[in-house]
Structure 1
Amino acid sequence: MSDFVKASQVFVDNPSKSREEVLQLLSEQAVALGMAEDAATVRAAYDAREDMGATGMQDGFAIPHAKADAIKEAGVIVVKLQEPVEWPSFDDKPVDVVISLLVPDGEAGTTHIKLLSNVAVMLMREEFRDAMRATDDAEKIAAIINDGLDA
């Protein structure tokens, strides 16, 4: 998975002002990046998951994820926000780093679980969180995540 996340999938200094704007951005970028066929279907999948419970973790990180037939290939999109936004989270703090997972419906029990597990483990490590916060270089952010997925 060493090149699973590419710099083109990392958006830094993003001006989105709400969770809804971030989810819309993610849905549109999934199509623009060739990961999905229909932004509205992807957005509906994000919304359905958000309705099930918090995807905001701790320390300003969130892991929204979408599973849908419109998603053609599993992928990750990262958004670093200019300012934190309100997002239901385990520590009730706003979110400023979003690591989104996109998974085809047919891979929901395999790829999805593996990605979610790996990202959750990465977020438990202070050095990962610090490294993600220390740079706005899309190449470096992609490398940090890829290294974590390879570990």
Structure 2
Amino acid sequence: MEQVITTDLICLDVEAESKEDVIRLLAEKLDKAGRLNDKDEYIAEVFKREETYATGVGFSVATPHAKTDAVKTASVAFARLKKAIHWDDEDDVTMIFQLAVPCTGAGDLHLQILAALSRKLIYDEFRDQIAAAASAEEILALIGDQIGVQ
């Protein structure tokens, strides 16, 4: 199975004005990495999900996601922002883990990935390490094994 996250899916010190900017940026990363069948459909599905359910999870973290056949390979793209942006009604975020999961054959994979992330994100030390990481390789070392669900 291909790795769920790789260094080419990690963006550090991103300057963004809105969650829409970040969602589009990470979708572009996923598309360039060959993880999507249809970038525009994937983006539309992420926005549709955002309309129905808030994805700000607290701790300055958001987990936008879509489960759609517009996705070729289950993946997580990550962005760490230079400055916080408003995400949901109550949440400003600086770290975004954007999930892309295919409908076909994925079962509850998106839930497994979200659960694996959640188990780590509750710890201040883990979030501090992500905030302080100097490279995509450091981020990958911190989270890669955590979300490498099979």
TM-score above 0.5? yes
1:56 aligns with 2:59: no
Aligned 1:97-116 pairs, distance under 5 A: 97-107=95-105, 109-116=107-114
Q: CA deviation at 1:57?
A: 1.1
Q: Within 5 A, what are the aligned runs for 1:1-151?
A: 3-88=3-88, 92-107=90-105, 109-149=107-147
> Aligned-residue CA RMSD in angstroms?
2.0
Structure 1, unaligned stretches of length 5 or more? none
- Partners of 2:4 and 2:74 within 8 A in 1: no
- Is residue 9–residue 78 contact of structure 1 (8 Å, CA) maintained in 2? yes
The one-letter code matched in structure 1 to 2:138 is K
TM-score (norm 1): 0.89
Counterpart Cα distance in 2 of 1:2 and 1:71: 14
Q: How many residues align?
A: 149
Deviation string 1:43-100 (CA, Å, 9 cap, x unpaired) is 01101110122111112111111111110000110001111111016xx231111011
Q: Secondary structure at the match of 1:106?
A: coil
Q: Which whole-Å deviations, capped at 9, do the CAs of 1:105-137 have from their partners, x for residues lacking one?
A: 124532111111111111112221111111131
Which ranges in structure 2 are unaligned for 5 or more consecutive residues?
A: none
Say if 2:24 and 2:43, in contact at 8 Å, map to a contact too: yes
Query: Which has more helix, going by share of residues?
Result: 1
Q: How far apart in 1 are the matches of 2:52 and 2:28?
A: 22
**TM-score normalised by length of structure 2:** 0.90
CA gap of 1:31–1:132, structure 2 versus 1, over 3 A, is same
